[in-house]
Structure 1
Amino acid sequence: MADLELERIVDKLPAGFADLEADAMADGHRQMTRLAAELTETPGIFHAAYACYLGGRLAGIGAMTDEPAPTGQPTWRMRRFYVHRDFRRRNAAYAIAMALLQDAAGRVSTMTVHAGNQAAAQFWEAIGFSRVTGLTWSHQRTMLETTARR
């Protein structure tokens, strides 16, 4: 993981975004196109977003927002999560997810995610998310020591 670098996304898309967005579209996913629009139109919805670089190339992005469904407790959702097909299975998704979870620690009681396919479900389960049914998200992870600040 020596050539892996994380960069916090604040107010602009990271270098290499067009290639990541094109790969996502070719892979049948629109979350990078949505991310680009949201960063332009409503950047304040993101509690955090990270870009991961491998060997200097943008390998993936992940972000988190408030959980849009009512929950009755402080809950955030991992979203706009995508790793370029050329960089999968090289710890990019893990590094992004761990950075986001670290940012959320002590701030919310639950993290949610909607896994779009079985491979994504297996990833989320491998890092401590549990499968749920009957909710608008597919997996959740209970966070320890919540102070519920925003």
Structure 2
Amino acid sequence: MLQLVRIFDELPDGFGDLVAEASGEGVRNMALLAERWRAGPQFQEDGETLLAAFLAGELAGIGAMTSEPAAAEPARRLRRFYVRPDMRRRGVATALASALIHEGFDSVRLLTVNARASDAAAPFWEAQGFMRDASGPWTHVLRHP
């Protein structure tokens, strides 16, 4: 069973393994999250969210959303997104993305994402409905209809 949990005060058990696996794939976003978290819990501002996905009780992935200050209109950025290799192709990434997209559209009409982290990122975000867009520090946008 897949469970999404909002993270407030402490990173979840197993996060160190997730950082190591991401780093082993050349993906730095989990290490950046860990570094920033040590300075104090993040994602406490309005509209900021950090979700952990657990599959059968084991940490499977992380996804976050923050404000997007570079946009000309109110917007949110989906970021710090990673699913452990052995948990892929089980709906974890799609569940995380869907939850963040729905929450984002509760308050803004524009979501952005930077899909440069891996070769699989751009096709994944495009499958979620995001369109390529290089007009800001992002690679893709999704606009609420």
| TM-score calculated relative to the size of structure 1 | 0.86
Measured after TM superposition, the shift of residue 90 of structure 1 is 0.9
CA distance in 1: counterparts of 2:23 and 2:113, whole angstroms:
20
| TM-score calculated relative to the size of structure 2 | 0.89
What is the one-letter code of the residue matched to 1:122? P
Q: Could you tell me whether the CA contact under 8 Å between 1:4 and 1:54 is conserved in 2?
A: yes
- In the TM superposition, structure 1's runs of 4+ consecutive aligned residues that sit over 4 Å from their partners are none
Identity %: 45
CA distance in 2: counterparts of 1:16 and 1:118, whole angstroms:
25
What is the one-letter code of the residue matched to 2:143? T
2:108 maps to 1:112 = no
2:121 maps to 1:123 = no
Aligned twin of 2:26: 28
* Pairing of 1:1-150 with structure 2 (within 5 A): 3-41=1-39, 43=42, 44=44, 47-69=48-70, 71-116=71-116, 117-144=118-145
Measured after TM superposition, the shift of residue 134 of structure 1 is 4.1
CA RMSD of aligned residues (A): 1.6
Measured after TM superposition, the shift of residue 20 of structure 1 is 0.6
Describe the shift of the 1:134–1:104 C-alpha distance in structure 2 as closer, same or farther (beyond 3 A). Answer: closer
Stretches of structure 1 that go unaligned for 5 or more consecutive residues are 145-150
Count of aligned pairs between the two proteins = 141
CA distance in 1: counterparts of 2:83 and 2:108, whole angstroms:
25
Q: Could you tell me whether the CA contact under 8 Å between 1:75 and 1:109 is conserved in 2?
A: yes
